[in-house]
Structure 1
Amino acid sequence: MATKHEQILSFIESIPIGSKLSVRLIAKELNVSEGTAYRAIKEAENTGLVTTIQRVGTIRIETKKEENIENLTFEEILKIIDGELLGGKDGLNKTLNKFIIGAMTEDAMLRYITEESLMIIGNRESAQRLSLENGAAVLITGGFRADPNIIALSDQLGLPIMTTSYDTFTVGSMINRAMTDQLIKKEIMLIESIYTRLKKTHYLSVNDTIYDYRIANQSSQHTRFPVVGPNNRLVGIVTAKDIIGKEDTVSIKRVMTKEPAYTTTHMSVASISHTMIWDGLEVMPVVSDEMKLLGIVSRQDIMKAMQTQQRQPQTGETIADQINQLIKEVEEEAYTFNVTPQMTNGTGTISFGVLSEIINETTHLTLSNQNKRNLVVEQIQLHYLNLIQLGSDLVIRPKIFDKSRRSARLDIEVFSESGLAAKALVVCQLFQKQ
């Protein structure tokens, strides 16, 4: 029998597209509490069944199918930026390898243009022509149109020329997000891709006894078992230490740990690895949004996935990749970085996001080189003290001031030609490579 939560979601799915709904309407229609109705509406919003518009209310919308873009084509880019194709339709199926922001002279552009790259540029006709002639598609920002001669050239070469109303920085961020989310699989590995399904593992019921635990333990590789109640809902977990000195006839319900740590299928492997390693968990239950047990994920599954993740080749070059390539170690605990045009915002100074990524990458380099351990940055407190201009040569000096087996804190200073330009406090978690 479906739970009230599931009944409400089914009701929402049956509502015609474009209809308005509210907590009060659902509570009255299905005879449930307003709290239950509210939680179901939030779940429906998370899954794309409804959307909430300010001063309008909650509206039933058409569910968008999740697309797995293996190759980011220019046609996909056109959709992402809400753009308009001006010419070069025959090249829409070509794959984007990288994008370039044209905030530079034409002579400097030639160093960055490659075939099947995308030049993001404003209303500069000669630069648009130069890009097309050297194999790059063109995206014109700010809502500008292209000259008919440029459009004819794009049709002749089979290279798309597009326009969008967004500004250059916004477009670059949108494309970078698409490359990160859709192309770099190692950055978005989720629990759903690695956990062990229920039918392939062991679990116990509140009606079972310690004897049932001992039987399950004989054919399992771990000693922690989820415990379920009615409707297969997770209610606890039982471990080897819970049954020490207990008789076989004792109920599992009496010895189990209630409200155990758990994960859902849409949580990331990286985030769950923190919890498992930090708390010393051998196994963690995997549940649905209604708390129904779906399976388990073990520490071995997590470590294997993260090792595979690190070995997996990248299929696209993002801003993070470019930043990593530009960071050079010049001496012990000191790194340099040159600010290129792609790393700046509209004022010609370094983007705050780029500066944060430099801090992040420097932290990884420092701790990985010293400890040969995996790490995840948890928090960065960044203070931008002086403007960092295009072309600046930065010196980054990280200093570890607190470190334990499981965590580390660093003080990182960034110097430009004018002196101290930024300062950051970084907190991260460490875990041993397997």
Structure 2
Amino acid sequence: MATKHEQILQHILSLGIGNKISVRQIAKDLNVSEGTAYRAIKEAENQGLVSTIERVGTIRIERKKKENFERLTFAEVINIVDGQVLGGRGGLHKTLNKFVIGAMQLEAMMRYTEANSLLIVGNRVKAHELALNEGASVLITGGFDTADHIKHLADEKQIPIMSTSYDTFTVAAMINRAIYDQLIKKEIIFVDDISTPYDEAFYLNEKDPLEKWYQLNEKSTHTRFPVVDEKKRVVGMVTSRDIIGKDQKMAMEKVMTKNPLVVQAKTSLAYVAHMMVWEGIEVVPIVDQAYELQGLVSRQDVLKALQQIQRQPQVGETIDDIVSSNIYALEEDQTVFQTEVTPQMTNQLGTLSNGVFTSLVTEASSRLLLQAKKGDLVVENITVYFIKPVQIDSKLIIKPKLLDIGRIYAKIDVEVFQERKLVGKGLLMAQLIDR
């Protein structure tokens, strides 16, 4: 039987796009507490089923497909620009294809305005009307209002007309920033992107005899299986070490390791990789908020995804991407690296940022280990002994030196020079991920 939390999520899924949702109403309709309803609505928001807008409320929206990462709904635009809805609330769930800045004559403006686009314009009532008739939403800048008949037209067509106190340039910059942030988020791989789903996962029940482990072991590529109770909640893990030498008629609950490490679907790949290296485990169960088994993620899944990421081009660049793209090995010595301090790598004083310095240390160390064919690293500790001010546009030489290396760990000393002068020194301790 589904839990109350799941029943509420199913109820939200059954609602029509554009429906308004409230904690009190759901609590009343499904006979649950307001606290339970609130938690389920927050989960629905995380899943992209609803959107909460200030001064409007929570509405059911269409869940966006992953390939539409560069698009926003009108509900999201309202949140970005801190605006208010003047009319057409029924269309807030719709997705905009592009936005147009209305800084031209009406005839020219209409050539660029089409259905599902967003016209950003000032208090030009005629432009508002023409855009709505074309099927385009309108965002009025400068905090201006519009005529009542325009609001009624927006309600009839279910096309949002909105207002914000920001100017046109600021609004365009804010929407561009939001799209850019989504491009960066697109590059982040989560557990549910690479996992083995529940239907294909191997698992055991707590009442199963140990001989069931031997049967699964013949079918699976790993020897570690989650153990679930009658409600499919993960209650333990069992490995070959737990069952060797034990009576095969004994129940799993007698030998399993209780309270195992688990992750959720939206846990990042980086976190799972660190957990597997740190704890030395090969399989981690994926659970929902009720601890019910949703699938598995294995070490092979993680390694395959890490290698795939390195081959993919970055679209939205983070600081780490900028550092990585600007560092390269010297031709005469492939273990020595060079980079240049770009404006994005500096602090407010115009010198190399401390955070970027640690990124340079990590990147140079990682490349040194790859050259030694030792695999990728997971940073355990970075000690910065000192860092001197380094001006913008300075050229730096980075010299990582392998002090000690074992099967699963490495210790690397890194020195950073500017024109043969030592400007920074650090020590990196890392655990290794075998390829």
TM-score, reference length from structure 1:
0.62
Cα distance in 1 for residues equivalent to 2:63 and 2:360: 35
Cα distance in 2 for residues equivalent to 1:365 and 1:213: 41
Aligned residue in 2 for 1:328: 328
Aligned residue in 1 for 2:183: 179
Letter in 2 for 1:324: S
Aligned residue in 2 for 1:376: 378
Cα distance in 1 for residues equivalent to 2:351 and 2:22: 47
Letter in 2 for 1:299: R
Cα distance in 1 for residues equivalent to 2:12 and 2:376: 44
Residue-pair matches, total? 353
Task: Please state how far the C-alpha of 1:393 moved relative to its aligned partner.
Answer: 1.7
Residue ranges of structure 2 left out of the alignment (5+ in a row): 82-98, 115-141, 143-166
Residue ranges of structure 1 left out of the alignment (5+ in a row): 94-142, 144-161
* Counterpart among 390, 397, 400 of residue 398 in structure 1: 400
Cα distance in 2 for residues equivalent to 1:329 and 1:223: 41
Aligned alpha-carbon RMSD (Å): 4.9
Change (3 A) 1:418 1:17: farther
Cα distance in 1 for residues equivalent to 2:306 and 2:113: 35
SS at match of 1:388: coil
SS at match of 1:263: coil
Change (3 A) 1:226 1:352: same
CA offsets per residue over residues 55-87 of structure 1, 9 Å max, x none? x9xx745557345356859999x9798697357
2:276 counterpart of 1:276:
yes
2:289 counterpart of 1:285:
no
Mapped contact 1:283–1:297 kept (Cα < 8 A): yes
Cα distance in 2 for residues equivalent to 1:92 and 1:351: 43
Instruction: Map 1:33-182; keep pairs closer than 5 Å.
Output: 43=43, 46-47=46-47, 49=50, 60=58, 62=60, 65-69=63-67, 85=101, 86=103, 164-165=169-170, 177-182=181-186
Task: Please state how far the C-alpha of 1:293 moved relative to its aligned partner.
Answer: 1.4
Mapped contact 1:410–1:427 kept (Cα < 8 A): yes
Aligned residue in 2 for 1:104: none
Cα distance in 2 for residues equivalent to 1:30 and 1:244: 49
Cα distance in 1 for residues equivalent to 2:349 and 2:100: 27
Mapped contact 2:181–2:316 kept (Cα < 8 A): no
Change (3 A) 1:385 1:242: closer
Aligned residue in 1 for 2:198: 198
CA offsets per residue over residues 280-299 of structure 1, 9 Å max, x none? 33333222232211232333
SS at match of 2:306: helix
SS at match of 2:377: strand
Task: Please state how far the C-alpha of 1:229 moved relative to its aligned partner.
Answer: 0.9
SS at match of 1:207: coil
CA offsets per residue over residues 173-211 of structure 1, 9 Å max, x none? 8676443322x4xxx223223322233343222232223
Aligned residue in 2 for 1:222: 222
Instruction: Map 1:413-432; keep pairs closer than 5 Å.
Output: 413-416=415-418, 420-432=422-434
Task: Please state how far the C-alpha of 1:41 moved relative to its aligned partner.
Answer: 6.9
Letter in 1 for 2:371: N
SS at match of 1:301: helix
SS at match of 1:261: coil
Mapped contact 1:238–1:256 kept (Cα < 8 A): yes
2:258 counterpart of 1:252:
no
Aligned residue in 2 for 1:126: none
| More off after superposition, 377-386 vs 399-408 | 377-386
Aligned residue in 2 for 1:297: 297
Task: Please state how far the C-alpha of 1:432 moved relative to its aligned partner.
Answer: 1.4
Cα distance in 2 for residues equivalent to 1:192 and 1:165: 36
Cα distance in 2 for residues equivalent to 1:383 and 1:357: 15
Mapped contact 2:72–2:179 kept (Cα < 8 A): no
TM-score, reference length from structure 2:
0.62
Cα distance in 1 for residues equivalent to 2:201 and 2:71: 41
Task: Please state how far the C-alpha of 1:395 moved relative to its aligned partner.
Answer: 2.7
Aligned residue in 2 for 1:118: none
Mapped contact 2:12–2:60 kept (Cα < 8 A): no
Mapped contact 1:204–1:226 kept (Cα < 8 A): yes
